[in-house]
Amino acid sequence: MDLRKIPAVVGGSQADRRGVVLAKSIPCKNYGIKTGEPLAKAKEKCPGLVIVPPNYPLYMKCHKALMDILREYSPLVQSFSIDEAFLDYTGMEEHFGPCLKGATLIKNRIREELGFTVNIGISTNKLLAKMASDFTKPDRVHTLFPQEIPSKLWPLPVERLFMVGRATKAKLNELGIFTIGDLANYNRELLGWKLKSHGLLIHDYANGIENSPVLPNDNIQMKGMGNSTTIKFDVDNKKDAHKVLLSLAETVAARLRNEGYKCGVVSVSIKTHEFLRYSHQRKLAAPTDNTNELYEIATQLFDEAWNGEPICHLGIHVSHLYPREFTQYTLFDNVKKGAMLSSLDRAVDNIRKKYGGHSIFRATYLYSGMSPMAGGVGTEDYAVMGNIL
């Protein structure tokens, strides 16, 4: 059975409250099924929907194989996500032919050697190439050069534009903006006054303006990292919420130390059982990579932000990263205590690296039913744009 040709989705565990659509086949579009919606809702739309669990090791294996092929066609390849990448084809024409021929060669080789299909977008910058790659699927090559913007890009609904989500779409609709062309031709100064810097950004995007280079991921400075987790039960008290935040602080702080950074800004995100999302952040007087300090800050932010509703999802995100060697103490810091906590963190990290992540954990998680180290392991927030060719 080819899941690509029937209504099928990859979905998380409903028992663990992760029952959402993570990815969908093209036939799902006929039923109005959307990525991110609850599996129960998707099954209401299509009773015969096939649901398969995620297989992350397989995805990473396919991602690596894809990247290996792309690097044969250019030294400048940037991974954007597990299923997207950007390739600078400048100067490669003499080796593989014009860009359209090269893109077709790459697309066909991926299909024949790896067994899955890709769409490739071609343009003069990352934004337009990404938009082109989202045109008609599957197994297609599309161009979106600047002269094609009025005919190919502007007629599309404004929510199809990169960086225009549901909330932004609603604000744009209130202004009478319904297509990307409406946005492109809207008064820029007024849009900036209404939507601030984000309005100016999407106005540029609607006009095809985007100038960031394609950077191999090894050359991209990390801007931030974070972990979040969906909780198996509704959290309705601070004690349980703090336990979840502690498990997230464990993983985020460990990742900071592993990457050699300290953070200058900490943010806590909350999602209620009614899927209302909000967050709260703080700039630190001095950067940190300490688990206890990160946890204390996170709980303070949570206590200040939480409105008392039952919670189904919590997250910690850190940004404004500095190399670990950069250490700035304030007059109120206990330097000796900080050194002791750093030594403790290093010891715990070493034990976990040698014997596994759950080889040592805090006693508060005994018989709690909660994970002592919650969240994923992937980094995030690299430079966001990139073109596939």
Q: Which residues are designated catalytic?
A: 84
Q: Using alpha carbons, list the distances in angstroms from residue 197 to 106, 168, 191, 224.
A: 37, 13, 9, 20
| CA–centroid distance for 32 within its chain | 23
Q: Backbone phi, then psi, for 315, in 5-degree steps?
A: -150, 155
DSSP per-residue letters across 356-385: -TTSS--GGGTTSSS-SS-S----B-----
Q: Residues for the chain: how many in total?
A: 389
C-alpha radius of gyration, the chain, whole number: 23
Nearest 5°: the CA angle 230, 236, 238 is 95
Cα dihedral across residues 361, 362, 367, 371: positive or negative = negative
DSSP per-residue letters across 102-157: HHHHHHHHHHHHHS----EEE-SSHHHHHHHHTSS-SS-EEE--GGGIIIIITTSB
Residue 349 and residue 254 in contact, taking contact as beta carbons nearer than 8 Å: yes
